Amino acid sequence: MGGDPGDDMLSWDESVFRNEHVFEIDYVPETFKHRESQMESLKYALRPAVRGSRPLNCLVQGPPGTGKTTAVYKVFDELATQSGVRTVRVNCQVDSTRYSVFSRVFEGIFDYEPPSSGVSFKKLFGQVTDKLVEDDEVLVVALDDVNYLFYESEASDTLYSLLRAHETQGGARIGVIVVSSDLSLEVIEELDGRVQSVFRPEEVYFPVYGEGEIVDILGERVERGFHEDVIGPEVLDRVAELTAESGDLRVGIDLLRRAGLNAEMRASRTVSIEDVEEAYEQSKYVHLSHSLQALSDSERSLVRVIADHDGGQAGDVYEAFHDETGLGYTRYSEIINKLEQLGIVETEYADVDGRGRSRELALAYDADAVNERLE
């Protein structure tokens, strides 16, 4: 890294990072540790696609930050080397309706986006299936964070269209990987009976990483992302300990990056425990930030109202929300349910004098932390 012998201060043009991209959330590691059995299960289910047959469907579940999305990327990378197989990953946080899901599928097949308006779902669907038959390809669609389709009541229609495509267009072969981070969501039970009858998935579970596994995984990130001796064993152990408490590997990855930036602020060549502790005050909110980024304007408005009113009774919060957005009570109630499922808002029924029972609303996080991430 340069510098005079014994000098532990960074010059203005130096960095503790060898490759800072390693600590970005969307980085896919070259080696994928401690998920061998899950990868084998996914490969087992998708192997028929390589032979030109419809693959088995999969239900992938596990808490946030346990490697589910990385596993999908890895398996899809391997399938990309096979002729006759097309893969499309849809981020349902962003695309949470049947039409938008099929728009992403269309883009994955044709390599350009469909028109944003003027095309019916039936026509979009027909173009997708016709192209698959014409090219004699098997399609595997990963619905990542499928819980967002459930929050918008779009899951059953979306899966029904994908799973019944061969009935509408003979010769269409589509398999589906459903990925959910909401452990309170009973995916199969929440689907319509018409979908349950055809969606009999292989179930693949991703448990929380143990502390030793976290040290191993983050240690490799440190080796690839930092210069030598920037992170000592004690510092890495503390990062792993805080990561294990959160249960989310993304916290540890973000924590390493922020701690490195803190060291650079001090012009230090090494990261200290204090750098880590300070960074954790931000990194512990990774899941909150991830959830808030995917909300619509009206959903963010409701979170802001609840934060500003320090919770309160549902009726009082609704009045403030309605004044700000003009939306009705039905949509308000739908958003409350979604925010509760996301773990952003907590609700509890309480007795109110002369008014029976009313729902009390409160943020699941510190209001200042929420408002800071809404800006």
All structural domains of the chain with their residue ranges: 36-205, 209-284, 293-374
What are the tokens at 337? 């349910």
Q: Phi-psi region for residue 229, left (φ > 0), alpha (ψ -120 to 50) or beta?
A: left
Which CATH code is given to the segment(s) 293-374?
1.10.10.10
pTM reported for the whole predicted model: 0.89
Fold matches, 36-205 and 293-374: no
CB 88 within 8 A of CB 108: yes
Q: How are beta strands 356-363 and 138-144 bridged, if at all?
A: unpaired
pLDDT at 4 over 60: no
- Average pLDDT estimate for 217-241: 97
pLDDT at 1 over 60: no
Q: What are the b/e assignments for 106-138, b being 16+ CB within 10 Å?
A: bebbeeeebeeeeeeeeebbebbbebbeeeebb
Could you tell me the pLDDT band of residue 353, with boundaries at 50, 70 and 90? Answer: low
Q: Phi-psi region for residue 296, left (φ > 0), alpha (ψ -120 to 50) or beta?
A: beta
Could you tell me the pLDDT band of residue 352, with boundaries at 50, 70 and 90? Answer: low
The pLDDT tens digits of the residues spanning 124-142 come to 999 999 999 999 999 999 9
Report the DSSP beta bridge partners of residue 87: 140
Which CATH code is given to the segment(s) 36-205?
3.40.50.300
Could you tell me the pLDDT band of residue 3, with boundaries at 50, 70 and 90? Answer: very low
Question: Scanning the structure block, which residue is given the tokens 């030598």?
Answer: 228
Tell me what the pLDDT averaged over the chain comes to: 93
pLDDT at 310: 74
Distance, CA of 277 to CA of 274 (rounded, Å):
5
CB 205 within 8 A of CB 170: no
pLDDT at 356: 63
CB 226 within 8 A of CB 16: yes
CB neighbour list of residue 107: distance below 8 Å, 6 or more residues apart: 113, 114
pLDDT at 155: 98
pLDDT at 10: 87
Distance, CA of 65 to CA of 247 (rounded, Å):
7
In this structure, whether the domain defined by 209-284 belongs to CATH 1.10.20.140 is answered with no
